[in-house]
Amino acid sequence: MTDALARLGRFSLDWLRALGHSAFFFVDLLRFSPAALRRFHLVLAQVHAIGNRSLVIIAASGLAVGFVLALQMYYALVTYGAAESLGLIVNLALVRELGPVVTALLFAGRAGTSLTAEIGLMKAGEQLAAMELMAIDPRARVLAPRFIGGIVSMPILALVFSTVGILGAYVVAVLLIGVDAGNFWSIMQDRVDVWRDLGNGIVKSAVFGVICTFVALYQGYETEATPEGVAHATTRTVVIASLGVLGMDFILTALMFSTP
């Protein structure tokens, strides 16, 4: 009983220590971000590296989700004679939810793991230590540009996902099933609000960008500098970032779309 209590206490203390440590790390990233923005070419290189590398998987997934969404929604709506709402439902589902969330989950798996491994291997190869000894703070030179790059990339990728998804839905609904094309587009134009739907979707994906990039960088920077350490850190990145995105999605949805 005493042992169990001691273990629980140790676990709680370790957890609290890690939480405090990560909070300080987050504040450091914010602190170094303005300086990174002033050297915008570093951020741009990261947007290119992070965004470009994720583009194919994001576009392919968006297309597949658009196909399936159109098919499933059509069968559900046609039963009630509401097939003309297909365009609206597909659009709202993608722009408000699936675009930001699925993009973030794919981002955590694709770019997040890549960031963690890159930073972890830089640490293992003493590259970060070398930078420190050159009087260059790696948090400012290496981490902050990646942090901003991730936050900028995520909404762009989410928009790509939603756009390709809507095009995929168009292919299935209009070209294959025969839903009226004018109806498909006009109901979107009429009922989708740029600020409420699209704007909130972009805000959501920017928040997910903060979560995924922060988790990936923290795990990489704090990893044990061994092959096993880097392997564990990349796994933790996917698990923690994905859970963080799903949890935050519920909170943001409740805040953003609580009124009809």
Site for another protein, rule CB under 8 A = 121-122, 125-127, 129-130, 132-137, 141
Best CA proximity match to 98, nearest among 58, 71, 52: 58
Beta carbon nearer to another protein, 121 or 192: 121
Is the distance from CB of 131 to CB of 142 less than 8 angstroms?
A: yes
Minimum distance of another protein from residue 221's CB (angstroms): 16
Beta carbon nearer to another protein, 121 or 203: 121
Minimum distance of another protein from residue 54's CB (angstroms): 18
Minimum distance of another protein from residue 130's CB (angstroms): 4
Beta carbon nearer to another protein, 111 or 122: 122
Nearest-angstrom CA–CA distance, 33 and 45: 15
Minimum distance of another protein from residue 117's CB (angstroms): 12
Minimum distance of another protein from residue 87's CB (angstroms): 44
Beta carbon nearer to another protein, 24 or 250: 24
Record the tokens describing residue 156, joined without a space: 């762009």
Beta carbon nearer to another protein, 110 or 146: 146
Beta carbon nearer to another protein, 122 or 207: 122
Beta carbon nearer to another protein, 129 or 176: 129
Assign residue 222 a region: left if phi > 0, alpha if psi is -120 to 50, beta otherwise? alpha
Nearest-angstrom CA–CA distance, 118 and 78: 49
Minimum distance of another protein from residue 118's CB (angstroms): 8
Minimum distance of another protein from residue 136's CB (angstroms): 5
